[in-house]
Chains A and B, each alone.
Chain A
Amino acid sequence: MSERIVVDPITRIEGHLRIEAEIKDGIIVDAFSSSTMVRGIEEIVKGRDPRDVWAFVQRTCGVCTTVHALTSVRTVEDALGIVVPPNAEMVRNIMEGTLYMHDHVVHFYHLHALDWVDVVSVLSADPAETSRIAQSISSWPKSSPGYFSDVKKRIKRFVDSGQLGIFANGYWGHKQMKLPAEINLLAVAHYLEALEWQKEIVKVHTIFGGKNPHPNYLVGGMACAVNTDDPGGINAERLAYVGQLIQEGKEFVEQVYIPDLMAIASFYKDWGAIGQGFGNYMSYGDFPTNGYNDPSSFKFPSGVILDRDISNIHPIDHRDSTEIVEFVNKSWYEYAGGDGASLHPWDGETNIKYSGPKPPYDHLDIDQKYSFVKTPRWKGKPMEVGPLARVLMGYAHGREEFKEIVDSALSTLNVPVTALFSTLGRTAARGLETQLVANWTTEFYNTLMTNIKNGDQRMANSEMRDPATWPKECKGVGYMEAPRGALAHWIVIKDGKTANYQQVVPSTWNASPRDPSGARSAYESTLIGTPVADPEQPLEIIRTIHSFDPCLACAVHLYDEHGKHISQVQNTTSCNV
C-alpha cells in the first residue's frame, strides 16, 4: 500500500506551492505539483498601453524582480522593431548580472540551506575548528575563532530565549542532516552575513533603476540618462559606485558562496543520484554582447538537449506555432477549443475556471484538474529549465569557460559526470554559473565605461515611442534566461493597445501538472524514486523541490489571464493519509 503525503505550504519559495506524493516502502512512486494561487495579470494588461506593460508584469515576481520587466520591454521592442543603444544593453546586462548574484546567493543561504544545515547542531560546534576549516577553504577575512564563537553564542541565546522564530519546527536532528557541527556553524554564520550582504549588491539596481525591488525599465532603452558633467545624470560617482558594488559582490560569491557550496556538497554526494528527472533541458540563451538581435553573441548559448544527449543541440524558434505550446488539460482554465487543445502563446487564452475541491480540503483530486499552472511543451516534450540546463548547454556548445568550471567542480567533489543530472547537480550548477555571471558582469561594466569614455552617451531610442508611428497591428516575442530558467513573453498589439499578452515562465515549465499524454513535468518527474525516511518530516521532498528554486507567483501570474497565483507546494506530509 502506498500512502499519500501532502506538503502545503512549501516554504522558502516565492508563491504558494503544494506537493502531494505517493510513498511506497519509503520511496516516492508518484507526485503531483499544484499551484494554488492566481491573480490574472495577463488579463489585466489587455487593452493597456504596451509601453506600460513592463510595470504590470514586473509585479509577477518581486524575488526575481526585473526579469519580467526586461522580458516585456524586449517583447514590445521586438513587436515595434526598436533597437536599443549599446549603453542600455550593457546597463540591462549589469542589472541582470547583479540580479543573478543576489538571487542565487539568497536562494542558497536563505531558501535552500536549511534543508541541509542543522541550525540547532551549531550549539555543539567548536568555533576554533570552524575557523580552521574556513581558513582552509577561503581567504574571506571574517574567519577567526572569536568571530565564530560570537555567532555560536548569538544562536545559543536565541535558542535559549524559547522564541525560535523562523527556525521553529525545522527539521533539526533529522537523520538526513549530515554536516559536522562545525560546518553547520560556518553555514549559519554565512547565512547571517549573506542576509546583510544582499542589501548591498542590489544598489546597482537603485542607481540605474531608482529602487529595488522593482527598479524601472523603459521600452527603447533605459531612463537613466548619462551625463558625466552634470549632477543630474549617470556620472563618474554613480559609475564608480556601480563598479565597487560589482567587485564586492564578486568577492562574496568567490570567497563565501562557492567555498561553502563545495564544502556542504561534499557531505551530500549521495544526492548526485537523486532527483534526476527525464533528462530534457532547454535554454533560450541570454546576456548579449553585440545586441539582443545577435544571439550568437550571447554569453549563455541557447538550445534544447534531449535525453541527456549533449552531443546533439536542437535549435528553438519562439515564433513557430508548433514548437512552444501550452495545455490546460490538468489546469484550472478553459480553452475555447476544449481541454485537449494546445495553443501557441500568440494565440494563448487565460480563462480561469476553478474546478478543484471546495476548501477546506485535505487532498486535491489528481484525476481531474489540479493546478493553476498551465502545462507548456516544446515539440510535445516536457523540458527542465534553469541553471543546470544553462550550464549543460554551455558545456554542450563546447564553451571553454563552462567546461572549466564543471570539470573542476566534478573533480573537487570526486563525483562522476552523471551526478550533474540530479538534485545535487542542480544546486551546484546554480553556484557555478554565478561565478561565470560575476565575471561577465565585470566585462559588461568595462564595456559600458569604454563606450562612455569614447563619447557615446545614448541610453534610449525614442524613435518609435509615439504610437502614431506604429503599425495598425503587430506582434512580438521577447525572451531571456531568468535566474530560474527560460522565460518568454508574447504580445499582440492592435491599434496601439495590448490585444493579447502571454507569459511562459521558468516555473511553468518545471512546476506544471502533466500533459494529455500523461507525461510529467520536472518537479513531478524528479521526485519519483526519492527515498523519504520519515513521511511525517518530508525533508527529502523539500530538498529536490528547492533545488529548482520555485517561483510560483511567476508560474501562475505569468500564464494566467485571471491572475491566479500558483503557490501551493505543500511540502510536508501533513494530511490524513
Chain B
Amino acid sequence: MNTKNEKPDTYYESIIKNGFSRRDFMKFTAFMAAYMGYETSAIGQISNALKTTPRLPIIWEHYQECTCCSESFIRTDHPIAADIILDKVSLDYTLTLMAASGHQAEAAKKAVMEKYKGEYILCVEGSVPVGEEGVFCCIAGKTALDQLKEAAAGAKAIIAWGSCASNGCVQSAKPNPTNATPIHKIITDKPIIRVPGCPPIGEVMAGVIVHVIAFGKLPELDRQGRPKAFYAKRVHDSCYRRPYFDAGLFVEEFDDENARKGYCLYKVGCKGPVTYNSCGSMKWNNGVSYPIQSGHGCFGCSEDNFWDNGPIYERLTNVPGFGIEANADKIGMVAAGVVAGAAATHAIASTMSKRKELKERITSGKDLEKQVE
C-alpha cells in the first residue's frame, strides 16, 4: 500500500513539521558535523543536504546472522532509531521490524528496487553461504546468494553491517561448514562500506547512515573499506588502561588484586593492541562502558578471522607498533599470532625496559604522566 505521493518530505521539511524551529534544525546539523568530525564550514553543506533530500530508501537484508547488528542499531542514542526510521531514511525492507510478511514483504522490496533503481542503499546483515549452490540460506524459496545479487544490482552502494557481512564472522570460522562468505567477495562492482564488529557499536551504525544522508556521499574509507572515522585507531591506543600496559602492571588472572585495581588485561588475552575500533573512544551504549572497562579483554571482534586468531584468553605474542602513529592499513593486515604458555615476548621485553626507564626518570624527579606518554 505504498502510496504514490511523488514528493516525500525532505529532512528539513520533516523536522519543521515536527514542530522544531529552523534554529533547532541548524543546531542539529552543527551537532552532526561535530559528531562526524567535520569542520565548521561543513555545517552549511549538511543543512543544505538535509533540506533537499527525500528520505533515503534502504533495503536491509538478513542472511546468515544472529540479528545482533539490527539490535545494536536500535540501541543507538544519537540519533535514536525511531527518528532515523521515521524521519531520516525509509527502511522499506527488513525482516526484523517490517509489518508485512511473506509475499507482501517481498513485494515491498521489489517496489523499492524498481522505483528507486540506482538510488537505494542496500544494507546487508549476515554472510552468504555459497556452499552447495547456496541452499544453506533461503528466503522466500530463493537462495541468499540470488537475493543478494538481485538487490545489489540496483543499489547505489552497499553497507556490510557487522563482522558477518564484512568478514564472515563465526560461521566462517574453521571448518566453515557452509562456506559462509562476506559480501565484498561476492559483489565486486558496487561501492561497499564495511562496518565490522560483533556487532558494530550502535552509534557507529547510525553515524555511517547519518554520513550518507547528510553529505550525500560515502564516508572516507581505509584500505579495507572501513570508515576512517570509526576504525582508524587501535583499541589499545584509546584505552584508559593503556598507562598500566606501559608501566608493566597487568592482571594475572581474573578477579585477582590487580583486576580489582583495573590493571591492563593484556596477559589474560586482550587483543586491543591489534584491533581497530572505536570501543575505547566512543564506548558502548552511549558511552557507558566497553569490554576492557568491565574487566574482560577485547577479543578483536572487528578484525578479519578473529575467531581463528588464537584462544581468547592467551596473550598476543607481539604487539605491533607502539603509539597511535601505527598505520591502520599496515597493522590491520598483520595476523594476531599467539603463543601458548610462553611468557616473555617482544612486548613484555619492551615493557620491562620501559619500566626500568620509568623508574629512573621518576628518581630524577620528572613528571610521571609525561614519561608514560
Contacts and interface: CB of A to CB of B under 8 A. Distances in A.
B372 interface: no
A44 B170 contact: yes
A121 to B, nearest CB: 13
Contact of B169 (A12, A13, A59, A233): A59
A44 B175 contact: yes
A272 interface: no
B254 A163 contact: no
Contacts of A503: none
Q: Which of A171, A199, A354, A458 has the most CB of B within 10 A?
A: A199
A198 interface: yes
Interface string B316-344: 00000000000000000000000000000
A268 B135 CA distance: 40
B295 A224 contact: yes
Interface in A141-196: 150, 153-154, 157-172, 192, 195-196
A457 interface: yes
A114 B99 contact: yes
Contacts of A154: 18, 86
Interface in B133-167: 133-144, 146
Nearest to A213: B68
A59 B167 CA distance: 15
A574 B289 contact: no
A329 to B, nearest CB: 19
A210 B80 contact: no
Q: Is the interface of A mostly helix, strand, loop or mixed?
A: loop
Contacts of B104: 169-171, 537, 572, 574
B98 interface: yes
A573 B106 CA distance: 12
Contact of A12 (B69, B98, B106): B98
A175 B93 CA distance: 25
Contact of A203 (B71, B256, B285, B312): B285
A141 B262 CA distance: 41
A37 B86 contact: no
Interface string A203-231: 10011111111111010111111110011
Nearest to B68: A62
A49 B138 CA distance: 32
Contact of A9 (B72, B102, B133): B102
A360 interface: yes
A271 B141 CA distance: 31
B284 interface: yes
Nearest to A564: B136
Contacts of B96: 11-12, 14
A50 to B, nearest CB: 10
Given A39-B180, A216-B294, A62 B55 contact: no
A574 B255 contact: no
B284 A196 contact: no
A210 B289 contact: yes
B80 to A, nearest CB: 6
B187 interface: no
A198 B101 CA distance: 24
B103 interface: yes
Contacts of A195: 74, 80-82
Interface range, A side: 35 or more
A134 to B, nearest CB: 19
Contact of A196 (B3, B82, B285): B82
Contacts of B97: 11-12, 110, 166
Contact of A354 (B95, B136, B290): B136
A65 B260 contact: no
B178 A40 contact: yes
A78 interface: no
B146 A360 contact: yes
Interface stretch (B5-13, B217-225, B360-368): B5-13
Contacts of B174: 44
A83 to B, nearest CB: 14
Contacts of A198: 74-75
B74 A6 contact: no
Interface in B225-278: 241, 253-256, 259-263
A351 to B, nearest CB: 10
A354 B4 CA distance: 43
B101 A462 contact: no
Interface stretch (B27-35, B57-65, B350-358): B57-65
A230 B82 contact: no
A443 interface: no
B55 A361 contact: no
Contacts of A171: 99-100, 104
B191 to A, nearest CB: 23
Contact of B139 (A36, A44, A206, A231): A36
Given A216-B296, A225-B295, A232 B262 contact: yes
B68 A163 contact: no
Given A150-B19, A572-B105, 20 more contacts: A10-B102, A11-B98, A12-B98, A39-B64, A39-B136, A40-B171, A55-B299, A62-B70, A165-B89, A166-B92, A169-B108, A195-B82, A199-B76, A206-B289, A207-B294, A209-B294, A216-B296, A233-B260, A562-B178, A571-B102
17 contacts: A9-B102, A9-B105, A12-B98, A14-B66, A59-B198, A163-B8, A164-B1, A166-B85, A169-B100, A192-B82, A210-B290, A213-B75, A214-B198, A218-B254, A359-B141, A538-B102, A557-B66
